[in-house]
């Protein structure tokens, strides 16, 4: 296919210009192929560089996300294991507590059963001992009566059969009962003599002594039995109380463990849910990364193969150009086509001399038009040189310009990648540091406001304490003055009452005597002279009643003064005590509050110092990032024209230069553009 295209272009080129040999035309076409191949190779490099950057950044981001998810899964797994282990341990503890509670309840039931049996045995034993004591009393009464009737004999026989009576006592009772009728008859006869009576008395006394000992023994057993019952009941009550307390503690502990187990299981469930979500997200990221890495690796392999093919193609074409331009081909063309070469040489000499070669003029006009269209200073400057420089110099200059523009494109692509990385990193740094500066500034402002507020509150509390001290001092001074005044008033009132009492005594004595004297006078006057008084004289201003009444009122006033002053003193002292207590409490509260606020202020000031230090360091880091950004702006931001516009314009400049080379080589621009 390439051969057919090549022959077709060769045929067209041969028809279009009779001044160019076929060999020269082929060389020109191959040079155009090289330029186009290099341009496409470079464009492909730029394109793959951007794709590779995307692959690396995206894969790295996904790798970080996968690593973070793995760490999160490990943490959640450890948390789940811990929560489940805690729940298992709590379940064991609950089971143990259930077993303990069951054991305690079983112990209480067993203790109750034992206690019930002990109590029943006690009742039986107490009854036996009680009946034994009563039987001993009856037996004693029977023996003392020395009655040997049938009923009494049967009673003593029953006593001898009591299980609590020992063998010796039983034998003594049986001996007493074994007295035969002959001995009884002998006791009734005078001839029986004292020895038989002594023997009977001796046996009766032995029985009584035995009954007395048995009675004491039974009473002791009864007392011991009751004491043992009391001790057993006390021990049972203490045991039941201890077991019940153990059950209460175990049930409370069990409730706490059940609650803790529920929380542990809930936390484990939440952690499992979070782990499942994280594992799903991690699996999705891993699949995406694997697919991306596979696709990127495949694209990288394809790119390497394509670049290798393009390189080999360019090497082959350049080798062909070298061969075609050598003596074997071009030399033969010069040798066998002298007329054409001479014509061409003559034409070039003329064009060089005239400096107005039509192709060169066309190239200059084309470059000026392209420079105006894409606003390219490079093409504009080159158009001026093309118009006046020699023809060979122009071609070389255009080729060098094409190479230079391609090199600039490569450098700018690398610089663009570096700028993107640096600008992205710098922007992230500036955002982080700006956020940190704003946060720290807000903390500083808040701490300063807090410190100011605390200072104002401390000042206010200090003034309040000072005001309280002043009020306490003033109240104490007033109270002391009032107390002294009240004491003096009470003292004066008491002294006045004593004096008034003395006055009342004098007045009452006087008026009593005066009343008696008046009555005597009237009696005497009644006998010697006519009556001149309407009523007996009882003293001035109403007599004794008026003066004494007023003095008594005065005395009651002093009494009331004493009572009211004492009451007022007591009330004032109570109010003073209440005021002092309230003031002391208020002062202690304010002192404590002031101490707390002073501590809080100290802590806030310490934190403010640290925060300002952090703010200063962060601000310096932000300033450094801003300074570095300003350094990046001239080459990465403030270029005037966007990177895409520069790439597009440079591409058009290269295409324009390649078209200019084609024009200089005599190709039909319109035809090539159409092709």
- What are the pLDDT digits (tens) for 459-490? 988 998 898 888 888 889 998 998 888 888 88
Mean pLDDT to the nearest integer, 207-229: 82
Of 207, 241, 270, the residue at which a domain comes to its end is 270
Give the model's pLDDT for residue 342. Answer: 39
Alpha helices (H) along 146-166: 150-160
Q: Which of 462, 481, 476, 484 is nearest to 580 (CA)?
A: 476
Cβ of 93: how many Cβ atoms within 10 Å?
17
Give the model's pLDDT for residue 560. Answer: 82
Tell me, yes or no, whether 105 lies in a domain: no
Give the model's pLDDT for residue 506. Answer: 72
Q: Which of 674, 668, 660, 664 is nearest to 15 (CA)?
A: 668
Mean pLDDT to the nearest integer, 46-56: 86
pLDDT-derived band at 660, boundaries 50, 70, 90: confident
- Give residue-wise pLDDT tens across range 271-284: 899 999 999 988 99
Helix (H) or strand (E) holding 149: none
pLDDT-derived band at 543, boundaries 50, 70, 90: very low
Query: CA-CA distance, 367 to 370, in Å (whole number)?
Result: 5
Residue 177 makes CB contacts below 8 A (sequence gap 6+) with 153, 156, 157, 160
Mean pLDDT to the nearest integer, 203-226: 78
DSSP state for residue 190 in the 8-state scheme: G
Give the model's pLDDT for residue 521. Answer: 44
Give the model's pLDDT for residue 182. Answer: 44
Tell me, yes or no, whether 200 lies in a domain: yes
- Of 183-187, 213-217, 445-449, 626-630, minimum mean pLDDT range: 183-187
In the numeric block, which tokens belong to residue 395?
């071609």
- Give residue-wise pLDDT tens across range 594-632: 899 899 989 999 989 999 999 899 999 889 888 888 887
Asked if residue 514 lies in contact with residue 538, where contact means CB atoms within 8 angstroms, the answer is yes
Give the model's pLDDT for residue 392. Answer: 57
Q: Which of 282, 281, 276 is nearest to 77 (CA)?
A: 276
In the numeric block, which tokens belong to residue 389?
């420089």
Does residue 249 surpass a pLDDT of 90? Answer: yes
352/71: higher pLDDT: 71
Asked if residue 282 lies in contact with residue 73, where contact means CB atoms within 8 angstroms, the answer is yes
Tell me, yes or no, whether 368 lies in a domain: no
Give the model's pLDDT for residue 132. Answer: 80
Of 208, 240, 270, the residue at which a domain comes to its end is 270
Backbone dihedral angles phi then psi of residue 532, each to the nearest 5 degrees: -115, -5
pLDDT-derived band at 98, boundaries 50, 70, 90: very high
Give the model's pLDDT for residue 280. Answer: 92
- Give residue-wise pLDDT tens across range 499-511: 777 777 776 666 5
Using CA of residue 246, residue 252, residue 253, residue 258, what is the dihedral sign?
positive
Give the model's pLDDT for residue 536. Answer: 47
Does residue 450 surpass a pLDDT of 60? Answer: yes
Give the model's pLDDT for residue 17. Answer: 44
Does residue 583 surpass a pLDDT of 60? Answer: yes
- Of 165-169, 339-343, 568-572, minimum mean pLDDT range: 339-343
In the numeric block, which tokens belong to residue 216?
């004491």
Asked if residue 397 lies in contact with residue 382, where contact means CB atoms within 8 angstroms, the answer is yes
- Burial readout 517-541 (b: 16 or more C-beta within 10 A, e: otherwise): ebeeeeeeeeeeeeeeeeeeebbee
- Between the alpha carbon of residue 93 and those of residues 100, 258, 427, the distances in Å are 10, 9, 57
In the numeric block, which tokens belong to residue 454?
């605390």
Cβ of 379: how many Cβ atoms within 10 Å?
25
Query: CA-CA distance, 659 to 675, in Å (whole number)?
Result: 13
435: Cα separation from own chain's centroid: 24
Give the model's pLDDT for residue 641. Answer: 59
- Give residue-wise pLDDT tens across range 332-381: 445 443 433 433 333 333 333 334 456 666 767 777 777 777 777 667 66
Mean pLDDT to the nearest integer, 233-238: 92
Tell me, yes or no, whether 588 lies in a domain: yes
pLDDT-derived band at 166, boundaries 50, 70, 90: low
- Give residue-wise pLDDT tens across range 104-157: 999 999 999 999 998 999 999 888 888 888 877 777 777 677 544 444 455 555
Q: Provide the angle, in degrees to the nearest 10, between the axes of the packed helices 194-325 and 22-145.
A: 180
Note the pTM of the prediction, 2 decimals.
0.35
Tell me, yes or no, whether 63 lies in a domain: no
Does residue 537 surpass a pLDDT of 50? Answer: no
Residue 279, Cβ density class (10 Å: 0-12 exposed, 13-18 middle, ≥19 buried) = middle
Of 634, 649, 664, the residue at which a domain comes to its end is 634
Does residue 285 surpass a pLDDT of 50? Answer: yes
Tell me, yes or no, whether 410 lies in a domain: no
Upper half-sphere CA count for residue 515 (Cβ side, 13 Å): 10
Query: CA-CA distance, 359 to 346, in Å (whole number)?
Result: 16
Residue 100 makes CB contacts below 8 A (sequence gap 6+) with 246, 250
Query: CA-CA distance, 624 to 613, in Å (whole number)?
Result: 17
Residue 609 maps to which CATH number? 1.10.287
Does residue 326 surpass a pLDDT of 50? Answer: yes
In the numeric block, which tokens belong to residue 473?
């001092």
Query: CA-CA distance, 489 to 569, in Å (whole number)?
Result: 11
Give me the number of domains the chain comprises.
2
Q: Which of 220, 226, 218, 224 is nearest to 140 (CA)?
A: 218
Give the model's pLDDT for residue 304. Answer: 86
Mean pLDDT of the chain: 75
pLDDT-derived band at 414, boundaries 50, 70, 90: confident
Place of tokens 């331009």: 325
Range of the domain at 439: 418-634
301/172: higher pLDDT: 301
- Give residue-wise pLDDT tens across range 4-34: 343 444 444 444 444 555 556 666 766 777 7
Tell me, yes or no, whether 539 lies in a domain: yes
440/522: higher pLDDT: 440
Angle among Cα 410, 413, 414 to the nearest 5 degrees reads 90
Asked if residue 420 lies in contact with residue 637, where contact means CB atoms within 8 angstroms, the answer is no
Does residue 181 surpass a pLDDT of 60? Answer: no
Phi-psi label, residue 539: left if phi above 0, alpha if psi -120 to 50, beta otherwise: left
Tell me, yes or no, whether 293 lies in a domain: no
Q: Which of 70-84, 204-218, 392-406, 498-512 has the highest mean pLDDT?
A: 70-84
pLDDT-derived band at 397, boundaries 50, 70, 90: confident
Say whether 196 sits in a helix, a strand or coil.
Answer: helix
Does residue 527 surpass a pLDDT of 70? Answer: no
Does residue 306 surpass a pLDDT of 70? Answer: yes
Give the model's pLDDT for residue 197. Answer: 46
Query: CA-CA distance, 73 to 75, in Å (whole number)?
Result: 5
DSSP state for residue 10 in the 8-state scheme: H
Query: CA-CA distance, 357 to 133, in Å (whole number)?
Result: 164
Say whether 413 sits in a helix, a strand or coil.
Answer: helix
Give the model's pLDDT for residue 540. Answer: 46
Asked if residue 416 lies in contact with residue 643, where contact means CB atoms within 8 angstroms, the answer is yes
Q: Which of 243-247, 317-321, 637-641 has the highest mean pLDDT?
A: 243-247
Query: CA-CA distance, 598 to 593, in Å (whole number)?
Result: 8
Mean pLDDT to the nearest integer, 49-62: 87
Residue 230, Cβ density class (10 Å: 0-12 exposed, 13-18 middle, ≥19 buried) = exposed
């Amino acid at each position: 296919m390439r051969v057919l295209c090549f022959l077709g272009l060769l045929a067209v080129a041969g028809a279009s210009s009779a001044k160019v040999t076929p060999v020269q035309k082929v060389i020109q076409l191959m040079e155009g192929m090289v330029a186009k191949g290099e341009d496409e190779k470079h464009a492909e490099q730029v394109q793959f560089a951007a794709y590779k950057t995307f692959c690396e950044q995206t894969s790295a981001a996904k790798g970080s996300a996968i690593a973070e998810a793995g760490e999160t899964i490990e943490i959640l797994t450890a948390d789940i294991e811990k929560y489940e282990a805690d729940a298992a341990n709590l379940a064991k503890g609950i089971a143990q507590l259930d077993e303990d509670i069951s054991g305690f309840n079983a112990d209480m039931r067993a203790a109750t059963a034992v206690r019930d049996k002990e109590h029943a045995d006690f009742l039986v034993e107490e009854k036996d001992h009680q009946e034994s004591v009563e039987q001993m009393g009856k037996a004693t009464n029977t023996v003392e009566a020395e009655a040997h009737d049938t009923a009494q004999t049967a009673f003593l026989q029953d006593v001898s059969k009591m299980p609590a009576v020992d063998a010796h006592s039983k034998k003594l009772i049986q001996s007493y009962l074994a007295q035969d009728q002959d001995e009884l008859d002998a006791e009734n006869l005078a001839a029986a003599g004292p020895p038989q009576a002594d023997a009977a008395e001796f046996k009766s006394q032995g029985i009584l002594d035995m009954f007395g000992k048995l009675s004491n023994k039974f009473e002791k057993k009864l007392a011991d039995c009751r004491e043992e019952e009391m001790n057993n009941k006390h021990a049972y009550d203490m045991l039941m109380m201890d077991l019940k307390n153990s059950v209460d503690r175990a049930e409370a502990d069990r409730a706490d463990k059940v609650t803790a187990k529920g929380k542990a299981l809930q936390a484990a469930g939440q952690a499992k849910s979070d782990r499942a979500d994280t594992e799903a997200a991690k699996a999705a990221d891993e699949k995406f990364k694997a697919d991306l890495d596979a696709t990127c690796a495949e694209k990288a392999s394809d790119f390497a193969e394509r670049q290798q093919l393009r390189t080999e193609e360019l090497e082959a074409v350049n080798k062909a150009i070298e061969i075609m331009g050598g003596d074997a081909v071009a030399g033969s063309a010069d040798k066998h086509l002298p007329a054409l070469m001479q014509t061409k040489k003559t034409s070039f000499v003329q064009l060089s001399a005239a400096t107005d070669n039509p192709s060169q003029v066309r190239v200059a006009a084309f470059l000026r038009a392209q420079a105006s269209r894409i606003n390219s200073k490079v093409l504009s400057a080159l158009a001026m040189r093309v118009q006046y420089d020699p023809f060979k110099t122009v071609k070389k200059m255009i080729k060098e310009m094409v190479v230079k523009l391609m090199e600039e494109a490569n450098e700018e692509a690398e610089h663009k990648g570096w700028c993107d990385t640096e600008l992205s990193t710098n922007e992230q740094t500036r955002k982080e540091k700006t956020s940190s500066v704003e946060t720290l500034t807000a903390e500083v402002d808040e701490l300063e406001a807090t410190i100011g507020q605390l200072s104002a509150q401390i000042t206010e509390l200090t003034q309040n304490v000072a005001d309280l001290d002043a009020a306490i001092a003033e109240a104490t001074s007033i109270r002391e003055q009032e107390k002294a005044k009240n004491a003096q008033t009470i003292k004066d009132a008491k002294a006045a009452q004593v004096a008034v009492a003395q006055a009342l005594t004098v007045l009452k004595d006087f008026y009593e005597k005066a009343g008696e004297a008046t009555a005597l006078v009237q009696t005497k006057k009644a006998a010697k002279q006519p009556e001149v008084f309407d009523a007996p004289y009882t003293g001035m201003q109403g007599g004794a009643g008026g003066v004494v009444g007023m003095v008594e009122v005065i005395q009651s006033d002093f009494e009331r003064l004493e009572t009211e002053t004492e009451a007022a003193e007591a009330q004032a002292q109570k109010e003073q005590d209440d005021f002092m207590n309230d003031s002391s409490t208020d002062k202690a509260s304010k002192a404590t509050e002031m101490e707390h606020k002073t501590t809080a202020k100290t802590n806030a000031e310490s934190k403010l110092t640290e925060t300002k230090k952090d703010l200063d360091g962060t601000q310096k880091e932000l300033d450094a990032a801003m300074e570095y950004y300003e350094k990046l702006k001239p080459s990465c931001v403030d270029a005037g024209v966007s990177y895409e516009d520069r790439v597009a314009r440079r591409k058009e400049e290269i295409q324009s230069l390649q078209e200019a080379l084609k024009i200089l080589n005599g190709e039909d621009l319109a035809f090539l553009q159409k092709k």
